[in-house]
A and B are shown apart, each in its own frame.
Chain A
Amino acid sequence: MTATATAGAAGQEREEPAATRSPWIPCLAAWLLPGAGHLLLGRVAQGVVFAAVVVASFAMGVSLEGTVYASDPEAPLSRLATLANLGAGPLDVWARMETYGGLTYTIPDSRVDAKGREQTLRRLREKVASQTHAYGRTFLLTAGLMNLLLVLDVFDHCIGRKGSAARRRDPAPEAAGGTETA
C-alpha cells in the first residue's frame, strides 16, 4: 500500500494522503486537542464534528458540576474510570483542578496517609453533594472515552487499516477511493 495520494478522475484526491504515515504525531495531537488528529490527516469534516462533540460533552460535564475520578487503592475499578477521564487530554487537567483543587490522580491509601485521604475525600464530597453531579460525571467520562476512541481511530487511519475497512463496509461506486465527504 502506497503512502501517497492519487488523483481521481475529477482531479480530486481519492486516497487518504495519510495512509501508512507515522501515527505518533497525529495520535498525540488527537489526544491533546479533540479532533486535531483527524484535521492533521485532512479529514476536516470529521475533525470539526469530533472537536465539537467532545468539547460539548466535556463542557456539559463541567457545567453540571461533574467530578473526575482519581485512582483509589481501596476501589480498584476507579483506575479504569481515571483512565477514561485522562482520555480527554489537557481538558482533564481543568476538570481535575475544578474537582480536587489540584492535579490529584490518586487518592491516598488510608493505611499510608489517612489525613491526606480524608482531605481529598472531603473536597470530593463537596462536589458530590450537587444534584447534577452524577450527570456531569457521566458526560466527563463520555468525553474522555470518545477522545480515546479518536486517538485509536487516527492510529488506524495512519497505518491504513481504517480507510479500506470503511470502504468495504460502506461501498459507493462514486466514492470508491474513500474520499472524505465534508
Chain B
Amino acid sequence: MSHLLLMVAHAGLVSIFFAFLTRERPGPRLRAFLFIFVGMLAGALALAWLMYPYPVQGGP
C-alpha cells in the first residue's frame, strides 16, 4: 500500500475510535468522525506541503 493509503487507513481507524469514544448518538458521531478524519488528512497534507522545500539531508 502507498503512504497515502496507509495514512488514510490510519486516520480512518483513529477517527472512528474517537467518534465512538466521545459521542453517544449517531449524528454527532458522524460529525465528529468527519471532523477528525478530514482534520488529520488535511493537517498531514498541509505539513507535507510545508516541509516539501526542506528535504531530509542525505535522503533519497
Contact = CB atoms under 8 A, between A and B. Distances in A.
B24 A178 contact: yes
**DSSP class of A's interface residues: helix, strand, loop or mixed?**
helix
The B contact surface, by secondary structure, is helix
A169 B21 CA distance: 13
- Size range of the interface on A? 20 to 34
Contacts, number: 49
Interface in B4-46: 6, 9-10, 13-14, 16-17, 20-26, 28
**Which residue of B14, B17, B23, B25 has the most chain A CB atoms within 10 A of its CB atom?**
B17
Contacts of B21: 46, 50, 149-150, 153
B6 A53 contact: no
Contacts of B22: 166, 169
Contact of A175 (B3, B10, B25): B25
Interface of B: 3, 6, 9-10, 13-14, 16-17, 20-26, 28
10 contacts: A46-B21, A53-B16, A135-B3, A142-B14, A166-B22, A166-B23, A170-B23, A175-B25, A180-B24, A181-B26
